[in-house]
Amino acid sequence: MGKALADKQSAYVRDQLSRRLIVQSPPYGIGPTLAARLAAAGIRTAADFRGYRSVQNTSYNSTGAVLVLNNGRVVDVHGIGEAKAIALDGWRKSLVASAEARQPTALSASERQSIEQGITRHRTQLTAQRKAVESETDDLREKARKQLEDGRERLNRENTLAGDRARQQRQEFSRRMVELQQNSALHGTLSASIEAARLRQRELSYASYFRFLYLGH
């Protein structure tokens, strides 16, 4: 409320100053010619400038003045020396004092109600924004949790598949080892059988030969 009242008072003072045209109620020493030069420089009312600044004129070894506009820019108006700048500044300050003496000292009921409604709307907006941020944060947190769980499940599946592949490879290796052992044993048995058959064949051949020698058949 305090800022609103200060803004209202400042607006009132500016409005009162803007109503005081220099050409209509000029300060002492400011005639129509200087009023026209001031207007050409952008200073038509008491609201168009905020003071003056003294400057040293080295060429004439004298003190001059520039007027300071509300935006901080300075203007040098021909014919406005330090004395006339002081007169303009005093004229403006007297108008400011007069306006401040009449400025409002309180907000009206409608203004207070409007400000309170604005505060309520702002609080409502902030509450809605906070809830939206909290909801978005909850969604992001849930999304991150789901991604973490999915990642863990994927790693578990990959570990399980890797374990299954390793177990299958071990089983296949064991099976091949058994086959090799069995083939080795079979090879030994076959080799022994073949060798026995060869010995038997030789024995039969010798027996047949001696029978033929002695018996003739």
pTM: 0.54
Task: List the domain boundaries for the chain.
Answer: 2-105
Structure tokens at 52: 């003056």
The beta strands (E) that lie in 47-88 are given as 49-57, 62-69, 74-75
- The answer to whether 187 and 179 have CB atoms below 8 angstroms apart is no
pLDDT digits (tens, 9 = 90+) for 23-78: 998 888 899 999 999 999 999 999 999 999 998 876 666 788 999 998 999 999 99
- The answer to whether 35 and 29 have CB atoms below 8 angstroms apart is no
* Tens digit of each residue's pLDDT, the chain (217 residues): 688 889 989 999 999 999 999 999 888 889 999 999 999 999 999 999 999 999 887 666 678 899 999 899 999 999 999 999 999 999 999 999 999 999 988 988 888 888 888 888 999 899 899 999 988 998 899 899 999 988 898 998 888 888 888 888 888 878 888 787 787 777 777 777 777 767 777 766 666 656 666 666 6
Distance of CA 29 to the CA centre of its chain: 59
Q: Are strands 62-69 and 74-75 parallel, antiparallel or unpaired?
A: antiparallel
